[in-house]
């Protein structure tokens, strides 16, 4: 469905606030089965859309309740199908959102003040929202699970499209990259570990609170603002070394030994375990790279670039043998777009430093070595990049953009399946729309005109 008002961020930041604060009388506007849709619910969604600047295609007092009615149809089917909600995943999403609120509003107390409810109640409401989202998605996935377009299907779909309906594809590039991490002197690593041992000692002796030290010194900006707290996370979400150390903790008064991950060096404090999820605090320090270390790495990559340019080695070979970028090394240096799972990038999707270089290059060019920040580890590294291909902005073309057209074809097939399912589902569910809410050009025939 195109209109999704129950998205996590929007609902959590606006609709819940409205839920806590609005004084609209609980008037019933629609009834779906035995589920009412209150006027206040519709008003909340409308205010949410205004806040999020969501364009509503039509009268909001028609579009919004119809979308809510559709959600209730899917939720009713989820109950019939006994869809099981993955409690651990939902709880993790809720905790992430709670942590987001705390980071943006400043403290747990300010979150409670903003939403006019204690955190346990806020968690409960968010859990309902995420659980409903999950159930709706599972029902839709089950309905459309067998959709898979063949090349013939894609060709037929493409031929049926008018030129005006073809999407515009912004300029895209394909690139290869070789990165190396500057050598960090052991002295710098020892200094970082010494600082972390000192912080651990202060906490273990009761001299200072872990959260205070995290706010002051942790280099993980996402968690430092609220005392290093990560929120409840499953083992699979955490870095492997971090997860092992965290789940081995049993005493919330003690601090872990120093843990090294790709992010840097950590000390960890247990807050609470809930089954397969854990909430911890941590302090992250990253050893600093000296100017000399960066220069040495730049010189090394400049030599690699010279060998490639002289034809002594290929870019593919050097990427395989020396690159320290885990994601591209085993793919001959080809960068992979995590958003689209393809080798093509719009310029905005590239790391900033790579984008600046690529924008000035022609296909086949290899950049001079440059310093960049690893998007995942936030550490400095040195890189060279080769522009493999540039595809200028254009209307989608079957030969050039087959996968995009294929996605459109499958999306169209899924939309038709869901549309037909809704039409059949409506026949089996009681629907009542109050006077004053009926004069609408609905997408579906809720009033069953002519039947």
- Flag whether pLDDT at 184 surpasses 50: yes
Confidence of residue 20 (pLDDT cuts 50, 70, 90): very low
Q: Which fold has domain 8-148+412-433?
A: Triger factor/SurA peptide-binding fold (1.10.4030)
Q: How much is the pLDDT for 449?
A: 57
Strand partners, 176: 334, 386
Task: Please report the pLDDT score of residue 362 as a whole number.
Answer: 96
- For residue 401, pLDDT over 60 is answered with yes
**In the predicted structure, residue 214 carries a pLDDT above the cut 50:** yes
Range with lowest mean pLDDT among 21-35, 41-55, 174-188, 305-319: 21-35
pLDDT band, residue 423 (cuts 50/70/90):
very high
Q: Give the pLDDT confidence score for residue 260 in this predicted structure.
A: 95
Ranking 142-151, 186-195, 269-278, 431-440 by mean pLDDT, the lowest is: 269-278
User: In angstroms, rounded to a whole number, what is the distance separating the alpha carbons of residues 20 and 13?
Assistant: 12
pLDDT tens-digit series, residues 231-277: 888 888 899 999 999 999 999 989 999 999 988 999 999 999 988 88
Q: Is the pLDDT of residue 1 over 60?
A: no
Q: What is the pLDDT of residue 51?
A: 64
pLDDT value, residue 88: 67
Is the per-residue pLDDT at 297 higher than 90?
yes
Q: Does residue 19 have a pLDDT over 70?
A: no
Of 107-111, 195-199, 257-261, the poorest mean pLDDT is in 107-111
Q: What is the pLDDT of residue 23?
A: 45
Measured CA angle at 81 (ends 443, 412), to 5 deg: 35
Model confidence over 371-389: pLDDT tens digits? 999 888 888 999 999 999 9
- What's the pLDDT at 170? 93
pLDDT average, residue stretch 108-131: 87
The pLDDT, as a whole number, for residue 5 is 33
**pLDDT tens-digit profile of 22-42?**
444 579 999 999 899 999 889
Tell the CATH topology of 172-184+290-395.
Chitinase A; domain 3 (3.10.50)
**Alpha-carbon gap, residue 194 to 262, rounded angstroms:** 19
Write out pLDDT tens, residues 323-354.
998 889 989 999 999 888 889 999 999 999 99
List the domain boundaries for the chain. 8-148+412-433, 172-184+290-395, 189-282
Top CATH class, 189-282: alpha beta
Do the Cβ atoms of 173 and 390 come closer than 8 Å? yes
- For residue 404, report the phi and psi dihedrals to the nearest 5 degrees: -65, -45
For the stretch 67-105, pLDDT in tens is 999 999 999 999 999 998 877 678 777 877 887 788 777
Domain 8-148+412-433 and domain 189-282 have a common topology: no
């Amino acid at each position: 469905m195109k209109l999704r008002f129950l998205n996590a961020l929007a609902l959590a930041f606006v609709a819940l606030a409205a839920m806590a604060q609005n004084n609209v009388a609980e008037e019933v506007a629609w009834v779906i089965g035995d589920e009412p849709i209150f006027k206040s619910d519709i008003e909340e969604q409308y205010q949410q859309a205004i806040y999020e600047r969501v364009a509503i295609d039509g009268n909001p007092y028609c579009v919004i309740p119809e979308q809510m009615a559709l959600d209730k149809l899917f939720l009713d089917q989820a109950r019939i199908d006994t869809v099981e909600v993955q409690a651990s995943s939902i709880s993790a999403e809720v905790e992430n959102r709670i942590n987001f609120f705390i980071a943006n509003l400043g403290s747990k107390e300010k979150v409670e003040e903003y939403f006019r409810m204690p955190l346990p109640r806020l968690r409960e409401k968010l859990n309902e929202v995420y659980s409903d989202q999950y159930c709706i998605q599972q029902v839709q996935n089950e309905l459309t699970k067998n959709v898979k377009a063949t090349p013939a299907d894609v060709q037929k779909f493409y031929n049926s499209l008018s030129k005006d309906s073809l999407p515009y594809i912004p300029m895209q590039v394909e690139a290869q990259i070789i990165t190396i991490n500057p050598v960090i002197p052991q002295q710098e690593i020892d200094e970082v570990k010494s600082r972390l041992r000192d912080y651990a000692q202060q906490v273990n002796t009761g001299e200072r609170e872990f959260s205070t030290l995290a706010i002051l010194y942790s280099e993980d900006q996402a968690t430092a603002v609220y005392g290093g707290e990560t929120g409840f996370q499953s083992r699979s979400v955490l870095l492997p070394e971090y997860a092992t150390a965290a789940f081995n903790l049993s005493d919330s008064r003690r601090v872990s030994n120093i843990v090294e991950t790709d992010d840097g060096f950590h000390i960890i404090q247990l807050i609470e375990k809930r089954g397969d999820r854990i909430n911890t605090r941590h302090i992250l320090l990253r050893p600093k790279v000296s100017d000399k270390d960066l220069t040495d790495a730049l010189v090394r990559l400049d030599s690699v670039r010279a060998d490639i340019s002289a034809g002594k080695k290929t870019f593919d070979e050097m990427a395989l043998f020396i690159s320290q970028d885990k994601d591209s090394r085993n793919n001959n240096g080809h960068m992979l777009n995590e958003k689209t799972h393809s080798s093509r990038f719009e310029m905005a999707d590239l790391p900033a430093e790579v984008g600046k270089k690529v924008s000035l290059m022609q296909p086949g060019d290899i950049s001079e070595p440059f310093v960049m920040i690893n998007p995942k580890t936030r550490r400095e590294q040195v890189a060279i990049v080769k522009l493999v291909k540039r595809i200028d902005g254009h209307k989608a073309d079957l030969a050039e953009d087959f996968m995009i057209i294929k996605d459109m074809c499958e999306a169209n097939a899924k939309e038709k399946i869901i549309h037909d399912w809704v039409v059949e589902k409506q026949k089996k569910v009681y629907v009542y729309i109050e006077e004053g809410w009926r004069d609408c050009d609905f997408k579906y025939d809720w009033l069953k005109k002519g039947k």
